[in-house]
Amino acid sequence: MKLDVALQRPRLVAALACFVLGVVILAVAMLPSATAQNPPDEALAAAELPTDEPVPPADATEAAPRELVVYVSGAVLRPDVYRLPSGARVKDAVAAAGGLRLDAAAEQLNLAQTLADAAHVHVPSVTDIAALAPAAPAAVGRSAGPLDLNRATVADLDELPGIGPTLAERIVTRRTEAGPYTAVEELREVTGIGEKLYSQIAPLVTVGPS
């Protein structure tokens, strides 16, 4: 019986050695698979994932309020260059320049308009506006003195107070049919010219040679 135990003992050791060797081989075989499932690059990429903290926008500095430099001239009390906060309007620029002068034509400005940097706000005066107004055209064929009834055209006579195109035409027709006017009083012979209208236009006309 001792002989049987002695014979079995080497076999048991050999089996145990084979089992240990198999475990080692299996562990070595599984090591590349585990490495492949978690490659270093992916682990590094996972470590570099962005956090949930908000990232400030790139233009955050540009969006910050900035100061405006504006030139104010014209009919204000203190024309000069002024610094105003962003979002200022024309009214703010005028106020910075001391306000409007008494002769300022404020209706020519849009006081609610938003200003831009380096803007020029010019406040015109009443005199400036009057100088820019077009002059009334001179009447064609008119002289500086009274209007000659024997040379005046229908257009000339139409400019007289109270004389419209119809009466102007009648004055010329009377001259054509009855001959040149010899006196201003002959205007009373024209239908539609009464004493009141005659008194208005008599100082403005004359009778010259035909």
User: Which phi and psi angles does 68 have, rounded to 5°?
Assistant: -105, 145
DSSP three-state, residue 147: strand
pLDDT of residue 33: 56
Name the residue ranges covered by the structural domains of the chain.
67-132, 147-206
pLDDT of residue 200: 86
pLDDT of residue 79: 96
Identify any residues that bridge with 82 across adjacent strands, giving them in sequence order. 70
User: Which phi and psi angles does 129 have, rounded to 5°?
Assistant: -65, -40
Can you spell out the DSSP letters for 70-130?
Answer: EEEEESBSS-EEEEEETT-BHHHHHHHTT-B-TTB-GGGS-TTPBP-TT-EEEE-BHHHHH
Q: CA torsion angle for 29, 30, 34, 36 (degrees, to 10)?
A: 40
* DSSP class of 67: E
Residue keyed to tokens 């403005």: 204
Lowest-pLDDT range, 15-29, 81-95, 132-146? 132-146
pLDDT of residue 176: 87
pLDDT of residue 82: 97
pLDDT in tens, 9-50: 666 666 677 777 777 676 666 665 555 555 555 545 445 555
pLDDT in tens, 158-205: 888 888 889 889 998 988 888 888 888 888 888 888 888 888 888 898
The Cα–Cα gap between 134 and 91 comes to 29
Whether the CB-CB separation of 67 and 81 falls below 8 Å is answered with: no
For the whole model, what pTM was predicted? 0.39
pLDDT of residue 92: 96
> Of residues 56 and 188, which shows the higher confidence score?
188
pLDDT of residue 53: 59
* DSSP class of 139: P
pLDDT of residue 5: 47
Other beta carbons within 10 Å of 72: 23
Average pLDDT over residues 134-143: 49
The hierarchical CATH code for the domain 147-206 is: 1.10.150.320
> Of residues 149 and 130, which shows the higher confidence score?
149
Whether the CB-CB separation of 100 and 123 falls below 8 Å is answered with: yes
pLDDT of residue 187: 87
Percent of the chain with pLDDT over 90: 27
